[in-house]
């Protein structure tokens, strides 16, 4: 067995995780109490689903995951919200209340990070990180062959940015914690709380690196949107978090709310998308990427294969993602697309789940994860067509470029949700030099604030040294330079070839 442990940190990580486990359970026929009707078959007829679920002696299926936050309100929503039966804590005295999660998997503190990276990393986060590591260690001990971690968090807040890195460094698929709302009750405490959340993620990754250094670390990271901000200090938190991500993760898939908002409005005709709409769309991406771990398929892709095929150099591991087709339920009956159409759609700039135009850069590698009614012949034809498009450029030092996975399990949708049930779908994860646009935007905002040392005292007051700001900023400047050089190598080669042809 090649198990995966999912770690959901901060508000964004927890809410995305809620959507993911809801979808996983629907896909595997697992009921809200963790049981499976005897007539249903899980995981395509074998135990592949046990990579994400463990089975208790009573036949209950428990997710291999940890939910972590520095304050209890978001986790309390999991315990008592719309899906309270799904996330309700087990009660040893009353088996009627049993659910997927055991109490030890839902960890919350009493004080928020108030959007302060330093608070999440140095003060509040330090008090809870050992407990989290202990819970993760127990999950790992229950695995026969731990493959790695999926990490979900946001870099803009305090918990997701600061705590995540502490834990996940060894095995991690990061979905960076979305920082959804500012705490408005106490503005001063709010600022501090935000920072804590971010720092906790980093702290966790660093500690995981020590304990599980050889395990795969894949992350889904929510980055600040270009035009929409949830906190004034987002640039600080993002730069500090990315500095840790560079060292302590293997692959980080970048997302931002604004891009997913636009996709929801344009393709699902939702005038004012909610975070539930966004999170369910993100869950489809994650489900597609992990389908080959949970179901049988013709060309299944292991977690370590993502890193092997997508990361040409250790620091160049930040990925773009897209999902196709995104079709509303009303249009489903007359918009069933073939393999070539969904593949072409996945490469459209408007389909990217981070605000960045791939036409401004070059692809270094691309992983296409198909599911449903798909055969290799159609995939080969679709990929061949993509290679001939002049708008989609690959670096010339990577002649192959594509990694393909095919899983026959069709996409599942939440009943009554916005997404239509389709016969086939594809998720694209790509390594492109265009992703440097995201870092450039963040660095520019960071420079404007840091030139005046605005808000720096909040971080220093939590035990952080001011020199860490400069160190992190220099690291990101070097990262931008790395992407520039990777693209320049390709450009130089292309110029030489053109001159030879003349």
Task: Give the pLDDT of residue 107.
Answer: 86
Catalytic option among 77, 247, 258, 305: 305
CB contact set of 329 (below 8 Å; sequence gap of 6+): 417, 418, 419, 420, 421
How many other CB atoms sit within 10 Å of the CB of residue 42? 20
The owner of tokens 């009660």 is: 91
The answer to whether 305 is a known catalytic residue is: yes
In the predicted model, residues of the chain with pLDDT beneath 70 are 1, 39-47, 81-103, 111-126, 157-199, 297-298, 333-335, 489-502
Phi–psi pair at 436, nearest 5 degrees: -60, -20
The class of domain 4-438 in CATH terms is alpha beta
Task: Give the pLDDT of residue 183.
Answer: 34
Task: Give the pLDDT of residue 73.
Answer: 86
Q: Model pTM?
A: 0.85
In CATH, the architecture of 439-501 is: Orthogonal Bundle (1.10)
Q: What is the pLDDT of residues 62-81, one digit of tens each?
A: 889 999 888 888 888 877 76
The owner of tokens 């990393």 is: 121
Comparing 4-438 with 439-501, is the CATH topology the same?
no
Q: Which of 232, 97, 134, 117 is nearest to 176 (CA)?
A: 117
Q: Which residues pair with 428 in a beta bridge?
A: 322, 368
Task: Give the pLDDT of residue 57.
Answer: 80
CB contact set of 428 (below 8 Å; sequence gap of 6+): 320, 321, 322, 323, 324, 346, 347, 366, 367, 368, 369
Distance, in Å, from the CA atom of 21 to the CA atom of 24, rounded to the nearest integer, reads 5
Domains of the chain, residue spans: 4-438, 439-501
């Amino acid at each position: 067995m090649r198990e995966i442990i999912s770690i959901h940190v901060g508000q964004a990580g927890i809410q995305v995780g809620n959507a993911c486990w809801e979808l996983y359970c629907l896909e595997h026929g697992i009921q809200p109490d963790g049981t499976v009707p005897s007539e249903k078959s899980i995981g395509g007829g074998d135990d592949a689903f046990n990579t994400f679920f463990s089975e208790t002696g009573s036949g209950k299926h428990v997710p291999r995951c940890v939910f972590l936050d520095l304050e209890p309100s978001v986790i309390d929503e999991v315990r008592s919200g719309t899906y309270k039966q799904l996330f309700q804590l087990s009660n040893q005295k009353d088996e009627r209340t049993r659910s997927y999660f055991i109490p030890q998997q839902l960890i919350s503190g009493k004080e928020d990070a108030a959007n302060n990276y330093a608070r999440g990393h140095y003060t509040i986060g330090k008090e809870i990180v050992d407990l989290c590591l202990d819970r993760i260690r127990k999950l790992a001990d229950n695995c026969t062959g731990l493959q790695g971690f999926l990490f979900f968090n946001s870099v803009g807040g305090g918990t997701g940015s600061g705590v995540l890195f502490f834990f996940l460094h060894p095995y991690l698929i990061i979905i960076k914690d979305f920082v959804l709302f500012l705490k408005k009750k106490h503005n001063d405490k709010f600022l501090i709380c935000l920072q804590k959340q971010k720092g906790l993620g980093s702290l966790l990754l660093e500690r995981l690196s020590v304990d599980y250094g050889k395990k795969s670390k894949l992350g889904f990271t929510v980055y600040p949107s270009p035009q929409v901000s949830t906190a004034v200090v987002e640039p600080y938190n993002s730069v500090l978090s990315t500095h840790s991500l560079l060292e302590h993760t293997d692959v980080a898939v970048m997302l931002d709310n604004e891009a997913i908002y636009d996709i929801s409005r344009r393709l699902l005709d939702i005038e004012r998308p909610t975070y539930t709409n966004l999170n369910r769309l993100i869950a489809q991406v994650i489900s597609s990427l992990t389908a080959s771990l949970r179901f049988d398929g013709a060309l299944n892709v292991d977690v370590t294969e993502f890193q092997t095929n997508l990361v040409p150099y250790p620091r160049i591991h930040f990925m773009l993602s897209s999902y196709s087709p995104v079709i509303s339920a009303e249009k489903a009956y007359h918009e069933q697309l073939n393999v070539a159409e969904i593949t072409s759609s996945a490469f459209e700039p408007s389909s990217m789940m981070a605000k960045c135009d791939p036409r401004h850069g070059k692809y270094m590698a691309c992983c296409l994860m198909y599911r449903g009614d798909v055969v290799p012949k159609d995939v080969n034809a679709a990929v061949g067509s993509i290679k001939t498009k002049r708008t989609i450029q690959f670096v010339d030092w990577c002649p192959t470029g594509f990694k393909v996975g095919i899983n026959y399990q069709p996409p599942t949708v939440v009943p009554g949700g916005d997404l239509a049930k389709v016969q086939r779908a594809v998720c694209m994860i790509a390594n492109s030099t265009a992703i440097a646009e995201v870092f450039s935007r963040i660095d520019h905002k960071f420079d404007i604030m840091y030139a005046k040392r605005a808000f720096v005292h909040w971080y220093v007051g939590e035990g952080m040294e001011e020199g860490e700001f400069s160190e992190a900023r220099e690291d990101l400047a070097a990262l931008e330079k790395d992407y520039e050089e990777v693209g320049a190598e390709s450009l130089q080669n292309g110029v030489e070839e053109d001159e030879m042809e003349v």
